[in-house]
């Protein structure tokens, strides 16, 4: 990275001892953990190759992401190329004058057929950069070994002058590489991350690494994470640490990506490893891999003592509200959302909310229901924790393979002692709404819809101002605007003869169910009037209330679930 301000990494790959007529070097098209074909080869420039003596070898690009080197049985083949890296996300690579971040599949090609070879990685930081943080095993200054390409690709690197903090959790050293300024207190944050990580270990029963690395990017605006085998990359807004919600939100992100140590990186659906880096890797189980992990992230933060039981229940209710108020929840089963992640989840458009459901949020909600079902069936003796431990021990540790869809269902049935056909048919592969109170009654909880009895209207169109024009951004399925024919990109000029502008919300709020609004719009430059009848808003706003006199079993389940004292 001799000129980091230009955003180019210079890569040299040396392959020895193969002695073939040709070797194909391939750049992956996606980053495991982020299910979208991103075409990393688009950033490659200047591919060339030489033999050991430096003699140029003929090269040919044979498809979108593969370069063939005609090696003529040379003992050593050296391929060189540059990669433009200027997208700072957890899924891509980035280089500028302040630091470098390497996400393996977007930088490192692999020689086709030789992915299982071990190797050495040498990093040459820009002048003055004195740190490299990575999960790879170090054998010298900025020199690392990897047993195969999968490990190299799954070990991101943070390169620069970042701060490095440490803590020990469950007897294992943890490194936190902090890039960018932030209003965090290092001592407090390390202590709290220790609590979160140890709570995660408590769920799964063991920590399967001897070292772990957090790479944290503190940015003006940022959010999200990506899991790796013994590390993770997190991005957050640099001033988030200063509020309770922001601080706990970061700890929840820590918990989410850390829980992937088990769920995804080791306990994984059968399709997610060994990876096919050239194509989509389809599974209907992302609602387990990501959704169940989402179930645990806030729960781990609660169990670690950072949120009160009431605050946590508010988070759970909020997730249920999000799912039930998403029109796409009635259209797309969560198993289908998992399978179609490659073409839908990362390619949202103005209609996504009407046609799709998040396998993160819906999967997390189903995790709560499965947990309640198991705890009620076993009289509080077992929980979803036991399912995850059983799956981890059976499929990762004993069988050494990924699990199949039917096998997760079988595990739930084994731990609960109940047939789960209807649950998976209706809620995983179907779009029925559960009777939530039938589940949460096990913990002495009831969901109350505070919108019940409201006569609010469901307008259903979001808008934005552009060059003084009020334009429609989105229209919700089944809403007044949807049924009245309002389209995305329509310009709303007037309502009932009055110019809309900034007053649209006031006009709408003064209308009642059954009223008709005459909406003057411009669509592709043509003026027309739509008559939109106002419909009742049927959205839910659930809140939990606790049973006045919970039974002993309800109290047992409630306290075990949230790890709190009887109250």
Question: Please, are residues 160 and 129 in contact by the beta-carbon 8 Å criterion?
Answer: yes
Q: Is the same domain home to 242 and 304? A: no
Span 231-236, average pLDDT: 98
Q: Is the same domain home to 438 and 472? A: no
What is the Cα 205 distance to its own chain's centre? 24
Task: State residue 403 phi and psi, 5-degree precision.
Answer: -100, 160
DSSP for 429-480, written as a single string: SS-PPP-HHHHHGGGTEEEEETTTT---B---EEEEEETTEEEEEEE-TTSH
Q: 141: domain CATH number? A: 2.60.40.3650
Residue 384 resides in a domain: yes
Residue 55 resides in a domain: yes
pLDDT at 503: 81
Q: Is the pLDDT of residue 465 over 60?
A: yes
Angle at 380 between CA 378 and CA 383, to 5 degrees: 80
| Per-residue model confidence as pLDDT tens digits over 396-427 | 999 999 999 999 999 999 999 999 999 999 99
DSSP for 230-247, written as a single string: SEEEEEEETTGGGSHHHH
Question: Please, are residues 181 and 240 in contact by the beta-carbon 8 Å criterion?
Answer: no
Question: Please, are residues 514 and 534 in contact by the beta-carbon 8 Å criterion?
Answer: yes
The 8-class DSSP code of residue 503 comes to: G
Q: Is the same domain home to 346 and 438? A: yes
Q: Is the same domain home to 83 and 28? A: yes
Span 241-251, average pLDDT: 97
Q: Is the same domain home to 26 and 128? A: yes
361: left (phi over 0), alpha (psi -120 to 50) or beta: alpha
Helix (H, G, I), strand (E, B) or coil at 303: helix
Question: Please, are residues 157 and 1 in contact by the beta-carbon 8 Å criterion?
Answer: no
| Per-residue model confidence as pLDDT tens digits over 310-326 | 999 999 999 999 999 99
Q: 527: domain CATH number? A: 2.30.42.10
pLDDT at 565: 62
Q: Is the pLDDT of residue 222 over 90?
A: no
pTM of the full structure: 0.96
**Kind and range of the H or E run holding 509:** helix 504-509
What is the DSSP pairing of strand 137-140 with strand 143-146? antiparallel
pLDDT at 567: 39
Q: How far apart are CA 54 and CA 72, in angstroms?
A: 14
Q: Is the same domain home to 408 and 506? A: no
| Per-residue model confidence as pLDDT tens digits over 74-112 | 999 999 999 999 999 999 999 999 999 999 999 999 999
Which of 444, 476, 483, 447 minimizes the C-alpha distance to 462? 476
Number of H helices, E strands in the chain: 16, 27
Q: Is the same domain home to 548 and 512? A: no
Residue 403 resides in a domain: yes
Number of domains in the chain: 4
Residue 566: band (very low, low, confident or very high) from pLDDT cuts 50, 70, 90: very low
- 461: which strand partners? 475
pLDDT at 46: 98
Residue 173: band (very low, low, confident or very high) from pLDDT cuts 50, 70, 90: very high
Residue 266 resides in a domain: no
Across all residues in the chain, what is the average pLDDT? 97
Beta strand ranges found along 27-136 (DSSP E): 44-51, 56-63, 66-70, 76-84, 94-95, 99-102, 110-111, 119-122, 131-134
Span 295-313, average pLDDT: 97
Which of 382, 440, 438 minimizes the C-alpha distance to 412? 382
Retrieve residue 156's tokens. 């991101």
Residue 429: band (very low, low, confident or very high) from pLDDT cuts 50, 70, 90: very high
Residue 346: band (very low, low, confident or very high) from pLDDT cuts 50, 70, 90: very high
Which of 428, 205, 406 minimizes the C-alpha distance to 336? 428
Residue 242: band (very low, low, confident or very high) from pLDDT cuts 50, 70, 90: very high
Residue 269 resides in a domain: no
pLDDT at 564: 82
Q: Is the same domain home to 549 and 403? A: yes
Q: Is the same domain home to 75 and 195? A: no
Span 167-187, average pLDDT: 98
Span 239-254, average pLDDT: 97
Span 507-527, average pLDDT: 96
Residue 206 resides in a domain: yes
Q: Is the same domain home to 210 and 304? A: no
CB contact set of 459 (below 8 Å; sequence gap of 6+): 479, 480, 481, 508, 534
Asked if the peptide bond before residue 274 counts as cis, ω within 30 degrees of 0, the response is yes
Span 416-443, average pLDDT: 98
Residue 551 resides in a domain: yes
Residue 502: band (very low, low, confident or very high) from pLDDT cuts 50, 70, 90: confident
Q: 368: domain CATH number? A: 1.10.390.10
Q: Is the same domain home to 240 and 178? A: yes
Span 61-71, average pLDDT: 98
pLDDT at 505: 87
Q: Is the pLDDT of residue 542 over 60?
A: yes
Range of the domain at 475: 461-533
Q: How far apart are CA 227 and CA 225, in angstroms?
A: 7
CA 529, 531, 537, 538 torsion: positive or negative? negative
Task: State residue 304 phi and psi, 5-degree precision.
Answer: -80, -5
DSSP for 517-531, written as a single string: EEEEEEETTEEEEEE
Q: Is the pLDDT of residue 218 over 60?
A: yes
Retrieve residue 159's tokens. 């390169």
Q: How far apart are CA 331 and CA 314, in angstroms?
A: 26
| Per-residue model confidence as pLDDT tens digits over 183-200 | 999 999 999 999 999 999
Residue 275 resides in a domain: no
Q: Is the same domain home to 43 and 154? A: yes
What is the Cα 537 distance to its own chain's centre? 31
């Amino acid at each position: 990275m001799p000129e980091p301000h230009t955003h180019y990494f210079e890569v040299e790959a040396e392959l020895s001892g193969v002695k073939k007529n040709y070797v194909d070097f391939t750049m992956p098209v996606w980053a495991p953990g982020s299910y979208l074909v991103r075409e990393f080869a688009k950033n490659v420039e200047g591919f060339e190759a030489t033999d050991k003596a430096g003699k140029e070898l003929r090269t040919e690009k044979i498809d979108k992401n593969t370069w063939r080197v005609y090696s003529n049985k040379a003992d050593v083949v050296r391929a060189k190329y540059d990669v433009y890296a200027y997208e700072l996300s957890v899924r891509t690579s980035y280089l500028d004058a302040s630091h470098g971040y390497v996400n393996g599949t977007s930088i490192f090609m692999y020689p086709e057929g030789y992915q299982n070879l071990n190797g050495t990685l040498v990093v040459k930081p820009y002048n003055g950069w004195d740190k490299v943080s990575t999960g790879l095993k170090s054998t010298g200054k900025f020199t690392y070994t990897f047993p195969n390409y999968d490990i190299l690709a799954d070990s991101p690197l943070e390169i620069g002058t970042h701060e490095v903090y440490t803590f020990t959790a469950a007897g294992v050293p943890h490194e936190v590489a902090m890039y960018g300024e932030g209003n965090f207190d290092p001592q407090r944050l390390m202590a709290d991350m220790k609590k979160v990580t140890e709570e995660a270990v408590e769920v799964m029963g063991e920590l399967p690494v001897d070292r772990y690395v957090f790479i944290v990017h503190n940015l003006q605006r940022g959010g999200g994470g990506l899991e790796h085998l013994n590390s993770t990359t997190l991005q957050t807004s640099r001033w988030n640490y200063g509020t309770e919600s922001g601080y706990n939100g970061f700890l929840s992100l820590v918990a989410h990506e850390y829980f992937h140590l088990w769920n995804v990186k080791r306990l994984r659906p059968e399709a997610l490893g060994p990876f096919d880096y050239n194509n989509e890797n389809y599974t209907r189980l992302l609602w387990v891999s990501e959704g169940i992990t989402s179930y645990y992230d806030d729960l781990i933060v609660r169990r670690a003592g950072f949120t009160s039981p009431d605050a946590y229940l508010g988070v759970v209710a909020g997730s249920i509200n999000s799912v039930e108020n998403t029109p796409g929840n009635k259209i797309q089963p969560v198993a289908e959302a998992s399978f179609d992640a490659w073409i839908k989840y990362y390619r949202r458009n103005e209609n996504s909310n009407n046609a799709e459901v998040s396998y993160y949020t819906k999967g997390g909600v189903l995790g709560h229901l499965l947990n309640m079902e198991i705890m009620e069936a076993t009289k509080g003796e077992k929980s979803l924790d036991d399912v995850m431990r059983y799956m981890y021990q059976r499929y990762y540790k004993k069988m050494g393979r990924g699990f199949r869809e039917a096998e997760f269902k079988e595990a739930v049935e084994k731990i609960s002692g109940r047939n789960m056909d209807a649950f998976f048919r209706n809620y995983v592969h179907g779009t029925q709404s559960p009777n939530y109170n039938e589940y949460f009654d096990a913990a002495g909880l009831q969901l109350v819809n505070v919108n019940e009895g409201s006569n609010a209207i469901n307008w259903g169109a979001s808008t934005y101002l552009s060059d003084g024009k009020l334009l429609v951004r989105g229209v919700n399925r089944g809403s007044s605007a949807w049924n009245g024919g309002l389209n995305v990109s329509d310009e709303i000029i007037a309502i009932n003869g009055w110019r809309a502008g900034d007053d649209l919300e006031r006009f709408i709020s003064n209308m009642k169910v059954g009223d008709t609004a005459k909406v003057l719009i411009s669509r592709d430059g043509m003026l027309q009037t739509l008559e939109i009848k106002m419909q009742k808003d049927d959205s839910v706003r659930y809140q939990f209330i606790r049973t006045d006199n919970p039974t002993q079993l309800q109290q047992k389940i409630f306290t075990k679930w949230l790890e709190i004292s009887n109250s």
